[in-house]
Amino acid sequence: METILVLTHVDETGAALSKASLEAVTAGKELATRLAATLVIGIVGADVTTAANALASTGARLLAVSGERFAQPRYASDAAACEALCRVAQATIVLAPGSARFTRVAAGVAHRLGGLIDTHITAIGGAEGVEATRWFYRQRVEAVLSRDARPWLLLLDAGTHAAFAGETGAAQVEQVAVELPEPRTTVSGIRAPMQDAQTIRPDAKMLFVTGAGWTKKQPDGQIHVGEAADLILGFLRLTGASLGSSKSLVDQGGDGQPVLPFLTHLNQVGQTGATPRHAKGLSTCCHGEEPHVVGWRFIGDRRAISLDPNCGWTRGKADVVYVADAFTVIAKVNELLEAKKA
Ligand SMILES: Cc1cc2nc3c(=O)[nH]c(=O)nc-3n(C[C@H](O)[C@H](O)[C@H](O)COP(=O)(O)OP(=O)(O)OC[C@H]3O[C@@H](n4cnc5c(N)ncnc54)[C@H](O)[C@@H]3O)c2cc1C
């Protein structure tokens, strides 16, 4: 019989569990129910009381490695914490969020335990055993993996499961003691870009994609890059959407053409770019060409604004296409959103 351990960690508030951790909890609950297996949840953080109470209704055995030394992500402390949780739980299947914090340590933990790991898991199925699904070759080939080796660690991609939300209660947590050597890494603080500059937001409900049209000559014969930048940043500020881009637009900087300074190749969506997962996507000033649309595979509701009634989006690649001037539409949408906020 399998023993399923879900490894979780707190978010940047230091108290609540990260959304990706809560998604892993859902995956663990579903798997444990299906296999009638034991469910254990391990929590890593400085103070895990709030996080544990939020898991009270799971009915799982709760383990924690806590204390100031586990407040910050650090290889030595996180790897030791995860290893200890796996050993105490005697886990055969370990599910963990594919967050920056756990992705860094999970392979090392699997090695220490003599187990195996698979990453980028998007679904867990199987009637009798455990079958993990992941995509290869830029989301074109889907594989279903099963393994006899135990423990088997599975890192789950974010956005593939609903985040667990249950009644808060007074949870019983078993503390797992971890002896750490004197740390050689100290975290002195976090230097992060301003919230407005953080344009890639994997947890956002909407993906807003900009195409090369924003920097093309408009009907008045002029380019309006400054206005485009204001409209795009205004939309992101008002909606909290994540920013994606076509390859053509992010490539323009290297070609010496007018650019939107906040766009980098990290924003690029497509065959050679990212494959984000958001409930909705709105593409603007983009033609909807195949290599770009490859990245839209997991977007639920796809919409586009393009001047061209014959663009790729209108040829079956979007659910709704507005054949309109994106400068006018986004200016109006921003105005309505401002009015709603006021
Ligand atoms: C091997 C290979 C891999 C590739 N990988 C990728 C990839 O990963 N990602 C990617 O994005 N591309 C990729 N491409 C490039 C891709 O094929 C397209 O060339 C690119 O995505 C087109 O970008 P675009 O739609 O922004 O620009 P354009 O094709 O120039 O289209 C601009 C659009 O904006 C519209 N427009 C202009 N002004 C306005 C306005 N005011 N309002 C509304 N609409 C307006 C125009 O009508 C036009 O449809 C790849 C290509 C190859 C060959």
pLDDT digits (tens, 9 = 90+) for 189-229: 878 766 566 899 988 999 999 999 999 999 999 999 999 99
Q: Quote the pLDDT of residue 193.
A: 67
Q: Answer yes or no: is the C-beta of 329 below 6 A from any ligand 1 atom.
A: no
pLDDT band at 75 (very low <50, low <70, confident <90, very high): very high
What is the residue-averaged pLDDT of the chain?
A: 94
Are the beta carbons of 10 and 46 closer than 8 angstroms?
Answer: yes
- Residues 296 and 316: beta-carbon distance below 8 Å: no
3 state DSSP class of 172: coil
In the three-class reduction of DSSP (H, G, I as helix; E, B as strand; rest coil), residue 150 is classed as: coil
Q: Where are the domains of the chain?
A: 3-175, 195-341
HSE at residue 142, side-chain half, CA atoms within 13 A, is: 7
pLDDT classification of 175: cutoffs 50, 70, 90: very high
**Hey, what CATH topology would domain 3-175 get?**
Rossmann fold (3.40.50)
Is 244 near ligand 1, meaning CB less than 6 Å away? no
Q: How far is ligand 1, taken at its centre, from the CA of residue 219, in Å?
A: 19
Domains 3-175 and 195-341 share a fold: yes
The whole-number pLDDT of residue 194 equals 66
- Mutating to test ligand 1, I would choose from 247, 255, 275 the residue with most ligand atoms within 8 A of its C-beta, which is 247
Cα(204) to ligand 1 centroid in Å equals 23
Protein residue with its CA nearest to atom 2 in ligand 1: 291
- Give pLDDT tens digits for 6-46: 999 999 889 999 999 999 999 999 999 999 999 999 999 99
Ligand 1 pocket residue status of 23, Cβ below 6 Å: no
* Predicted confidence band of residue 69 (pLDDT cuts 50, 70, 90): very high
Confidence tier at 187 by pLDDT (50, 70, 90): confident
**Residue 30's closest CA among 124, 159, 158?**
124
Q: What pLDDT is stored for residue 192 in this prediction?
A: 72
Report the interhelical angle of 100-113 vs 75-89 (nearest 10°). Answer: 50
Ligand 1 centre and the CA of 218: distance in Å? Answer: 16
Pocket test for ligand 1, best of 140, 227, 294, 306 (most atoms within 8 A of CB): 306
Pick 175 or 181 by higher pLDDT.
Answer: 175
Residue 338 CA to ligand 1 center (angstroms) comes to: 29
Residue 311, ligand 1, Cβ within 6 A: yes
Q: Give the percent of the chain with pLDDT over 90.
A: 84
Predicted confidence (pLDDT) at residue 185 exceeds the cutoff of 90: no
Is it the case that residue 244 has pLDDT exceeding 70? yes
**According to DSSP H, which parts of the chain are helical?**
19-35, 49-54, 75-89, 100-113, 225-239, 247-251, 290-293, 326-341
- Residue 189 is predicted with a pLDDT of 82
3-state secondary structure of 221: coil
| DSSP run (H or E) holding 263 | none
Give the residue, by CA position, lying nearest to ligand 1 atom 51.
291
215: CA distance to ligand 1 center in Å? 12
Which two tokens mark 96?
């963990």
Distance in Å, CA 287 to ligand 1 centroid:
5
**For residue 65, which phi and psi values (nearest 5 degrees)?**
-115, 115
For domain 195-341, the CATH class is alpha beta
pLDDT at 195: 58
The pLDDT of residue 196 is 63
Ligand 1 site, residue 213, Cβ cutoff 6 A = yes
pTM exceeds 0.85 for this model = no
pLDDT at 261: 87
For residue 216, the CA-to-ligand 1 centroid distance in Å is: 11
